[in-house]
Chains A and B, each alone.
Chain A
């Protein structure tokens, strides 16, 4: 039942905000998001580390067709639910020193978005998953299109159409899968994910279903070459929307790979997995090399995010336990780091009115707090040991390396290039002589510090004692690995 509450609470809160409006919208939104965080934290704390789906609910939806409103949290979902609960309050808090027009709508959309994201990560029915997958797009589209930068209209339109068309392929695949399930005397067919897992599709069907799902998820993450919507959208969106996109929404894609592609079409993965890994690894290097030359901080972080997510996809397709566990932990870690980095970019922009690195410099001279937080976020992002990024990337790279040594080597370049572009960004903005724009740079306000503090705690928690997070996902991942092994064998 807690899952239902996790989904409904932000919806109710958002609706209340729209009705109440008034002066204290920000505070109200923050309180709502914090309540959700407490709930998510409670769920995480109470979660039994086994293979079952917990805190769930199950109601008939379209009864005659056997489609149900059913959701729950298992080892694959749990970290993403935690991530969604964790990030939204601090994304809300990060806006406290900014003012957005029509604040009620702005914050309500963020909470709607949160509800949809939780829905995606907990849905236990294929069509419910699809519903939330599309529903998440609507608030983020309006956030970007209404509060974005100059080019927002064409950019967000492209983003919207591109991603929605990706998911149409998924819909097609879901409908096909639905009709493959056996009809019972109670209902026609079933779209329950557990029933989809039982399907034994022909190799030919597996191949096209693989691509139908893969394209939907590849666009969302994005994986090379489906990424051209991403840098522009990240740059043009208002920073809180960018944080939602990069911090949480792209994980829908990685999650989809694990939830749908691996267990449902193992033969498809056997045939096409290598192509997918190669694309992902190309993306890692391609994104990183482009990031090295970016001048706009936000665009740089966007390309770095694109590069990092490639590694997650590659790790999942490596079909190793380390790769899969790495992807789950890295999703949490990346969400934290990327939100922190986008916030740094936002802080710098709000004080200097520019994000161009060549117009910045010397900021560290007046900002000890910002320097330290920026550095810690950066270290997490470049995967320094004892930070969160290391745990994820170590496991992911081990997975890819085990899959294929050369791909592992190629993917490994992320740790070199990552250091290059991140340190370059840090140096050009924080070090060196001050510029006219950075001369009187004020250090962080209290509310800004409070965005970073929890993020920093998480960076070190995951980095120093990852056991807390690895142990909750382990049984589910082990089970999935076993399942993939046996189904793939039985289908041959």
Chain B
């Protein structure tokens, strides 16, 4: 009983926080609203730690399933409202509530002047609630509740400043694009039900271990689930919503669009690792999409001038790395990068927020420069985040990215080379961002210069904590015999059973491993030097919008015109079809009804078969419809 209660408490705290701040909006004073919201998430964090401690202290560390009630029950299908506590959900719980609390704290300072403060805090709490359902559920349908719920919160928060039409459009785009992925996820769930007769993780994975590698149904299931992951974790072709999502307030970008929600896709694949291990073809496809996304997004990041957009493309790119790791069955490495990325990307976004706050809502790095003097804490922490994401030792990103690349090297040398290239790009655009923002001369207006200030402590404390985590986070899983690898090993028992070779001891020699490390760190360092030469020695400032660009530059600057492409091949045709069906299709169907009726009236008047002609119209119309259907059936032969 105790476990059920503890499990239920974790999502309950933020839900209560949401209800208090949501229902009491404008009645609960701002200070109190902020405290309630932050305390709610902090309370969940504390409970998560208690659960974690009790979990690791037991001998076996077996998954615990806590069933609250029978949710949907139809015939043989039983979907429980239940939670599962195991290594994976505990890790995600700690990340979500830990980083979540810091971002709540930060929001108190960042949003303090906003009139919708209480509403904002309540939406953040609601987001945490759904995110917790997503990672705690013991079956795919509970995951789906969280999955769609975080999508809703993402919608509400991206469009938080709802007077702005383009923000609203960005919010709607995010929701709809996620829904495309969700349809894949949903169909995947249906296939799981029809194949295994259940949606519970433990039951499915147990049954799955007796299947053959390359099973067709598992292939279909994993691909459908991955479509869901593509939507939520912004992979090609469903990634374009994420950069637009930067319309939301910056803490939202840090929490939802960097640290937690967007990693849901990785969580899902790691959770379903048995199924993915059973389907090597799916993993190949995942790998291809992942590396393409990583490189595409990184290349766009090279030329962006909006501080948040650079970080957004960087997120898309880093998510690509995580999937790349998964595709080489390096599930632990993928999760490791999820965790370190949560630290340093949240840090970078919050740092960007601090900059934007100081710059009176300016986001264009061409108008910044030299901010390190006015914002020392932001600068130092941002620097740490930049080093961490660039994969330079000894900060967190180095270890997690390196582990991914090492596994990819074993798996496929070409993917490894492309991965290293992407790593170089990452290092370049991040240091470009750092140098343009914090070094050189200030390029903004005098008014902005006068107003520059370091952020309040509610904002700098989260920065400092995250900076420490970004610096030392690598210690979670040091090369060789890391803690995380051992901790997570039981999760992959099933995978190991179905494909022992995929989990065999690494065949790479230690010397090769050190060379690989040196190469990727060297590439990152080289990119740093190039960025230094360009933006500090030569003091290059990116060209203003009006300036002519060379054709390749133009294409990359405009994000390869992918949005325009989607507009042309999907959105406009659907709109056109809507108009055509409404004006023409409806007219046609109605015309058949009315027009044929008219003929009947003519003939019936002559034949005097019917006294009231108009009634006859419809009879005949109906008959004609039937004939049409019969004809349709004849031709279609379904």
Contacts and interface: CB of A to CB of B under 8 A. Distances in A.
Interface in B616-635: 617-619, 622, 625-626, 629, 632-633
Contacts of B632: 275
B25 to A, nearest CB: 7
A289 interface: yes
A408 B70 CA distance: 26
Interface of B: 25-26, 69-75, 77, 141, 144-145, 148-149, 152, 155, 159, 162-165, 168-169, 172, 175-176, 179-180, 182-183, 186-187, 190, 193-194, 574-575, 577-579, 581-582, 585-586, 589-590, 593, 614-615, 617-619, 622, 625-626, 629, 632-633, 636, 638
Contacts of B193: 398
B149 A286 contact: no
Interface string A286-311: 10011111100000000000000000
Given A225-B625, A386-B145, A402-B190, A419 B25 contact: no
Given A292-B574, A362-B163, A467-B72, 7 more contacts: A227-B589, A274-B638, A286-B585, A291-B578, A385-B144, A409-B183, A427-B172
Contact of B618 (A165, A413, A427, A474): A165
A355 B618 CA distance: 31
The 9 closest A-B pairs by CB, nearest first: A293-B578, A385-B145, A321-B75, A431-B162, A228-B590, A401-B190, A274-B638, A165-B618, A289-B578
Contact of A416 (B149, B179, B578, B625): B179
Contacts of B579: 293
Interface stretch (A57-65, A186-194, A389-397): A389-397
Interface in A366-425: 368, 379, 384-386, 391, 394-395, 397-398, 401-402, 405, 408-409, 412-413, 415-416, 419-420, 423-424
A326 B636 CA distance: 28
A321 B145 CA distance: 22
Interface string A213-248: 001000000000111100100000000000000000
B196 to A, nearest CB: 14
B615 A165 contact: yes
Report the contact-size class of chain A (Cβ under 8 Å from the partner).
35 or more
A364 B160 CA distance: 12
Interface string A80-102: 00000000000000000000000
A385 B577 CA distance: 30
Given A289-B577, A362-B163, A432-B168, A275 B74 contact: no
A206 interface: no
B154 to A, nearest CB: 13
Given A161-B615, A431-B159, A211 B626 contact: yes
A441 interface: no
Contact of B172 (A166, A409, A423, A465): A423
A489 B314 CA distance: 61
Given A165-B618, A379-B152, A386-B145, A401 B72 contact: no
B149 A325 contact: no
Contacts of A433: 163, 165
Among A274, A419, A470, find the residue whose CB has the most chain B CB atoms closer than 10 A. A419
A275 B633 contact: yes
A466 interface: yes
Interface string A265-282: 000000010110011000
Contact of A466 (B72, B578, B585, B633): B72
Given A162-B618, A415-B179, A401 B163 contact: no
B132 to A, nearest CB: 14
A156 interface: no
Contacts of A8: none
Contacts of B187: 401, 405, 408-409, 412
Contact of B614 (A161, A431, A470): A161
A395 B182 CA distance: 16
A413 B72 contact: no
Interface string A48-76: 00000000000000000000000000000
Contacts of B589: 225, 227-228
